[in-house]
Structure 1
Amino acid sequence: MPRPIPLIAFILLVVGGGLLIGSQTLPGPWYAELQKPVFNPPNWLFGPVWTLLYLLIAIAGWQCWRYIRSSLAMRLWWLQLALNFIWSPVFFGMQSIGCALIIVLLLLLAVAAFIMAAWRPHRPAALLFLPYLAWVAFAALLNGSLFLLNP
């Protein structure tokens, strides 16, 4: 049976990091005043969705670390995490919808590339990223819509 310390470390890094960044970049009056598309979800939905996704991201990263540590998939896992963690400070902190759109599109590519890179060597990690891919695609659509609605 594997030791739980590395898994706990991945969970603390990803879930803890995501929650910390989220708590420092809460939507404020600026975001409330933006014109939003009709499909914009309620604000309360983002926290639970991201918490679940961060847990899946952490488990996938831990699995890659255990089974395919020196792989392209592991490098892509780190890349997507960095892009994920910088999106909120750019969007909410800098209030830069355009720069955030570029970041979320790069994140979408990184998540898709991770899935492709992990598919053969460790399919469970790739499968854990499928809900993340769907959500990031939706986030990119939402970010793009906000960009177009708020010139």
Structure 2
Amino acid sequence: MSYPRVYLYKRLVQAKLFIDEQYATPINLGSVAGEAFFSKFHFIRLFKKAYGRTPGQYLTAVRVDRARTLLRGGHNVTDACYAVGFDSLSSFTGLFKRLTGQTPSAFKRECQAMRAEPLHFVPPCFAAHHGWASSPAVAAASVAVPPAAAPAEAPKEQF
């Protein structure tokens, strides 16, 4: 028996929404596949075809994204790790670094620094162009932006 594609996609979206809502709880492949009424292996193939990653990769990405939000909000790394559903701080740190390019601690320090000195994270040429060079570091690093040249007049045609 063959089902219409729309029906299959609705079931995949239902499973994706299940992951989005339950990311902080212990989720296994069987429960997510069951939510969509697919066998585990068929579900993995369909999910990857539709979303470009496996359900496990998607769950990890959702958890890391939510952890980034918590870290930006001032939570400590351990609390963020467990709040988003990871069981191990070391696996959380490794996955976070693989997906974002930096450790959770470095990410949190960067967010704190950005809140404390936001102009240090603006490109100097942009800050100088907009008159934001109030910081000596920004002013020293800025490059003078030449004024825009007046457009050349087009020759007038005479009839």
Q: TM-score w.r.t. structure 1 length?
A: 0.27
- Higher helix proportion (structure 1 or 2): 1
